[in-house]
Amino acid sequence: MQRRTFDNPSSESRQPSWQGRPYGRSARRLGAVGLCLWLSACASLPDLRMLPTKASTGAAPTVEGSEGDLSAKKARSVLLRRVRGTKNDVAKLAAMEEAATGSPLIYGNRTTLLFDGPQAMGAMMAAIRGAQDNINLETYIFDQDELGQQFQQLLIDKQKAGIQVNVMYDGVGSLSTPKAFFDRMREAGIKLIEFNPISPLKGIRALKVNNRDHRKILIVDGKIAFTGGVNISENYSRSSLFRSGSRGVDEPGGRGTHI
């Protein structure tokens, strides 16, 4: 992640006047107390419980097509085509998923595994270039590095071409990205939302520092969607350690997978 840099003070500069004095130690103690209060304000982990396994697995789960729900026979046929050659109980998993989400399976979709950053970035950029109506991007990190600037310019170009672009980025994940970077996008007509921005003026409890938006989602024209673990950052631009022949011998493998 790209971080802002600040000039280091010269070695001849004076130390703060409170250092070495009795009230200097008090200030440090107050700082430690403040840190503890700040950490205690973070959201605790949710008490997750296992999904009850009382979902019916005897009948085929609901499968929805372009003209409504498929018949039980057709739904079983669709699932059987997917289960061939695997040891997974797809019907049971599908029934449990339907019970958890309250939504049926959607027939007619195609899913492609993008196993590293370069594959994901290339596919995402291609989808953005081909957008005809709207682009919706949600990301934890939107860096102002070379890759981030490529995405920025691509989104600006599409907005100027009449394609509505909407972007949501996280206030902590993108904290090191200058405000001017997002202002340029906003001035081009892109609609931006910063998720839970960090502002000391809100007070310690209102900060909710641990309430973050870690989603990485791109939806183009409501037809092509990407999700997974890849942020808009050059930290995700390396090829996979195990699957890419373009990687150098001593170059570390990449991080992040998308579909």
Q: Is 257 among the domain residues?
A: no
* 123, 225: one domain: yes
Q: Is 36 among the domain residues?
A: no
Q: How much is the pLDDT for 79?
A: 73
Q: Is 141 among the domain residues?
A: yes
Q: How much is the pLDDT for 204?
A: 58
Q: Is 40 among the domain residues?
A: no
> 43, 76, 106: which is the final residue of a domain?
106
Q: Is 35 among the domain residues?
A: no
Q: How much is the pLDDT for 168?
A: 98
* 76, 145: one domain: no
* 96, 122: one domain: no
Q: Is 43 among the domain residues?
A: no
Q: How much is the pLDDT for 250?
A: 46
Q: How much is the pLDDT for 200?
A: 67
Q: How much is the pLDDT for 176?
A: 92
* 167, 192: one domain: yes
* 177, 198: one domain: yes
* 215, 151: one domain: yes
pTM for the predicted model, two decimal places: 0.66
Q: How much is the pLDDT for 74?
A: 80
The count of structural domains within the chain is 2
Q: Is 158 among the domain residues?
A: yes
Amino acid at 103: S
* 140, 175: one domain: yes
* 140, 230: one domain: yes
Domain at 190, CATH number: 3.30.870.10
Domain region containing 97: 63-106
Q: Is 190 among the domain residues?
A: yes
Note down pLDDT in tens along the chain; length 259 residues.
444 433 443 434 344 443 444 445 554 554 544 444 444 444 444 444 555 545 554 556 788 877 778 777 787 777 777 666 666 676 677 777 777 777 887 778 888 989 888 999 999 999 999 999 999 999 999 999 999 999 999 999 999 999 999 999 999 999 999 999 999 999 999 999 999 888 766 655 556 777 898 999 999 999 999 999 999 999 887 765 555 444 444 444 455 677 7
By DSSP bridging, strand 63-65 and strand 105-106 are parallel
Q: How much is the pLDDT for 157?
A: 98
* 129, 227: one domain: yes
Three-state SS sequence of 41-101: CCCCCCCCCCCCCCCCCCCCCCEEECCEECCHHHHHHHHHHHHCCCCCCHHHHHHHHHHHH
Closest CA to 98 of 132, 75, 66, 123: 75
- 95, 63 Cβ separation under 8 angstroms: no
* 74, 139: one domain: no
* 177, 220: one domain: yes
* 206, 131: one domain: yes
